[in-house]
Amino acid sequence: MAKRTKIKDILKGGFEGQEVTVKGWVKTFRNNQFIALNDGSSMSNLQIVVDFENEDPSKLKRITTSAAISIEGTVIASQGKGQAFEVTAKTIEILGDSDPEKYPLQPKKHSLEFLREIAHLRFRTNTFNAVFKIRHHLAIAIHQFFHEKGFVYMHSPIITGSDAEGAGEMFKVTTLPFDKTPRTEGGEVDFKKDFFGKATNLTVSGQLEAELAALAFSEVYTFGPTFRAENSNTSRHLAEFWMIEPEVAFADIHDNMDLAEALLKYTISHVVENCPEELAFLEQRLSDEEKQKPQHERSDMTLRDKLNFCVNNEFQRLTYTEAIEILKNSNPNKKGKFQYPINEWGADLQSEHERYLVEKHFNKPVILTNYPKEIKAFYMRMDDDNKTVAAMDILFPGIGEIVGGSQREERLDKLMARMDEMHIPHHELEWFLDTRRFGTCPHAGFGLGFERLVLFVTGMTNIRDVIPFPRYPGSAEF
């Protein structure tokens, strides 16, 4: 097979006058003469000029939108507008036909709702070309960040016998038959006859396993899929999503905040530097979308302004108690404009409250700390007041919470007491408690929802549009 030259390399220059072979998919074919070809390597198309008078008419009819073709030709300086270089075709080979009467993605703008219905084809659009290249770069940047800092990458289990959050809404994993499920004498499912000999689930977090490793390697991180069986049909929730979860020994809540802020700034800066074409496209797309909204609902910042806003500003740090006072005395709260009014200490903050703090009050990213223990998980370190825990959430413009973490409770007696309060059986987590029995030390970590990060960086508004194959209630295609 002839070696192909990538379109992105031709568009950079340096091939003028050279014979090349390019392969890709037809975006458009105008006047039986100009093919816009794309091979996925660039947001931009390469123009192919066809000598239609000397080409087989039956072959020209097969050059339709999304047909896969191979072109051998010469790179020349373009005489037309819109491109610096083009290729004059000497030979055209049709590699794969695409029936224009049946192919659903014609050269026009399609709604994201429509594209979700044909998600197996949406990669072929410019929007999703940009989104998933940025997703790739974010993943690379995350690994680079931790590698440069000496962290060890740990693969935590996807099938687990524990519930890290104590949430309970988990997907069961079983090989037991549904029609003849074995039961105990008390009528409960007999999991001893299941594959693992006990009840197991898809993981909601790799955190507890990462803690085991951190108390040997000092600095580790996990980056993998996690699952929540919540029946949430919202633009911010998925049943399957990816999490980045570092755990660091000999670290407190302040070290944790420093690490999280540095990670976010590093990854966003990486995308700004390496994805200018994709960001420019998505920024224009977002701008066009904003024009359809009422003036009061439009964003004050462009996409790239928003990214630079997070990179260039020091994150504002304040306690939950301080945030509650700000929210209680805010105009939206006093005028009844919050959907969830803030009346007293102990309220669980909603996205509208988080966005107010970031976008209106401080005008910079915010890190909230020291939350009431009642609204946080059992493993978070108890503060001296016995009312709050050393937890932290990082809040971003347009999205609210993007990171959640804490200093972990390293004191065995305190940890077991919290487990008792939350009715978590000790025997199910003896392996975890051993880390507090044998060489315990202060340590901290956090979770960064990868799709939330991609959502923020791309400016997309629905989390189902930033993961290749979204899983949500009623949908498990592919």
Mean residue pLDDT across the chain: 93
Reduced to 3 DSSP states, what percent helix, strand and coil does the chain have, rounded to the nearest 5?
Answer: 35, 25, 40
One-letter amino acid identity for 412? Answer: L
* Residue 186 pLDDT exceeds 90: no
One-letter amino acid identity for 131? Answer: V
One-letter amino acid identity for 301? Answer: M
Q: How confident is the model at residue 233 (pLDDT cuts 50, 70, 90)?
A: confident
* Residue 421 pLDDT exceeds 60: yes
For 246, the token pair is 């570092």
What pLDDT, on the 0 to 100 scale, is given for residue 135?
98
Q: Which residue did the predictor score with more confidence, 151 or 292?
A: 151
Token pair 């097969």 is found at 62
* Residue 138 pLDDT exceeds 70: yes
- Burial of 143 per CB tally in 10 Å (0-12, 13-18, 19+): middle
pLDDT digits (tens, 9 = 90+) for 385-407: 999 999 999 999 888 899 999 99
What pLDDT, on the 0 to 100 scale, is given for residue 342?
95
- The secondary element (H helix, E strand) that includes residue 46 is strand 46-49
pLDDT digits (tens, 9 = 90+) for 56-79: 999 999 999 999 999 999 999 998
* Residue 460 pLDDT exceeds 90: yes
State percent of the chain over pLDDT 90.
Answer: 82
* Residue 83 pLDDT exceeds 70: yes
What pLDDT, on the 0 to 100 scale, is given for residue 278?
97
What pLDDT, on the 0 to 100 scale, is given for residue 311?
94
Side-chain-side CA neighbours of 320 within 13 Å: the count stands at: 24
Q: Is 81 left (phi over 0), alpha (psi -120 to 50) or beta?
A: beta
State percent of the chain over pLDDT 70.
Answer: 98
What pLDDT, on the 0 to 100 scale, is given for residue 46?
97
What pLDDT, on the 0 to 100 scale, is given for residue 79?
83
Q: 22-39: string of b/e by CB count within 10 Å (b at 16+)?
A: bbbbbbbbeeeeebbbbb
List, in order of start, the domains of the chain with CATH numbers.
7-107 (2.40.50.140), 124-167+204-465 (3.30.930.10)
Q: How confident is the model at residue 436 (pLDDT cuts 50, 70, 90)?
A: very high
* Residue 167 pLDDT exceeds 60: no
Q: How confident is the model at residue 80 (pLDDT cuts 50, 70, 90)?
A: confident
* Residue 165 pLDDT exceeds 60: no
> Average of pLDDT values for 343-366?
93
* Residue 168 pLDDT exceeds 70: no
Instruction: Look up the pTM and report it.
Output: 0.93
Coil/strand/helix, residue 435? helix
Q: Count the Cβ atoms, other than its own, within 10 Å of residue 295.
A: 6
pLDDT digits (tens, 9 = 90+) for 191-210: 999 999 999 999 999 999 99
* Residue 163 pLDDT exceeds 70: no
